[in-house]
Structure 1
């Protein structure tokens, strides 16, 4: 399908062997922050959690740290602070310097997503892209980011992606795809090819933590944090980020398991929701594409529950 917003460009494809070949970075505590979406209060909350760790953690922003931040000040602040840490591209960032608009927002939305959502996302991205062009230095730095990252946390091998093991905008780490038994062989194969114990992803906007069968009989897990900068559950306005560390979390967790020699957690990001709604509305007032697509979620949360995110993650 070649409709802008649904297409997955060939340049997004890397494959699991690229993850196996990526430079390995060492960390004792790794925060993987996906889907910040331009939410400055959420970034404040994440940085505050990081400051209270016993050892300074490594922060890796795995894409879509931009989205709603079309104000020049907000665009500059988000990117200056994010780029002071590790980061990889999301589809939002990958399309900021694209010469053509043939991919739209680059989300590669599946058929299950309403056409109106796709069209509004393309309009949101066009507005963000116009802002980005006024910040040439930041745009150049963003364009140089990689699509994948690889870490070792203790003995745990971590592959950080935006979408899935094959593509920046892949949807095979979506909660529904992770529960599809017909995808089991593919999931096992990409863990083997990437030589990782944990895949940390985002992109699909809804969180999931799933253990995966593995031919080598090592423990293996996919953790998708959903969104750090938007609510993930009905009636809960906090975001989520992923923490992978050699020690248990000092912060409240949605879920934490010890696997592959590390503690893998989903951490609530309890940002100032009132402040964020004011900042969002200042940039996207009622009637704008982002307000139509997202304000209900921002103010109430999506129709999704922790039980759906954590099905089978009872260890």
Structure 2
């Protein structure tokens, strides 16, 4: 008997979501499954808003950013009645398996749905923040790093021209993966991430000491500080004002914002999305449910959804040590 599969994208969009949808479409077509795409995240479940997906939907899709299924937050779904209504709609369409592409908030929604629906639920990690535990990387993360690095490189040009201090804020929600690796790849001079942030006065003094040591050796120089969003009390402008006051020089804050969530996915995200989407369809019809399909050491892994938010995913210590060495160099 042919299976009926549904897929939705939820939460913040991430480059590679479309590549993942494409892989799911192709895999379902190969296996003879019917596939529908729910629109606007969990809102589509509540409003029975969907479209049938076929190979026609995959043309030029792998390179497109965003998500053709669209995404949205859905407060109504969080209630018990919301889960009941969503389950009723899934049953009305005869859905056997629901695949959710998103972050830990989307996975919590999937877990919530399971209290009212006994169908198979599979998750695929899609977020630029890379803050989902149980996998090495999430779909969209690699592209976001590239986008941030490209922007920081451009900021460096004008910083060098004016021998000026710049603060560049990158996204990441409450995790420092994007900030740390963007700083490393762009050869930024300093990085502030939530995982290693304890005291704002001490952090401020470290930055000042780094700048003064650099200027003592080389005279006026540019200096780039990459800052993870939500980490500095009062925001980026507050840090800029405090640093400018101490240094008696101009400090320019730059917030990259949502530009990091857009753009054509890089090859790493396309490959990851394709592998995870295909693997997920391979599990359709099995007893495995309420799991995330991720990748660790280039191998697919199956992780219970509850474990994806049960603990804080740690930064890579090798990357941390490398950045510390970069920050402490004197030249």
- The alignment's TM-score, normalised by the length of structure 1, stands at 0.30
Which has the greater radius of gyration?
2
From the two aligned structures, give the one with the greater helix fraction. 2
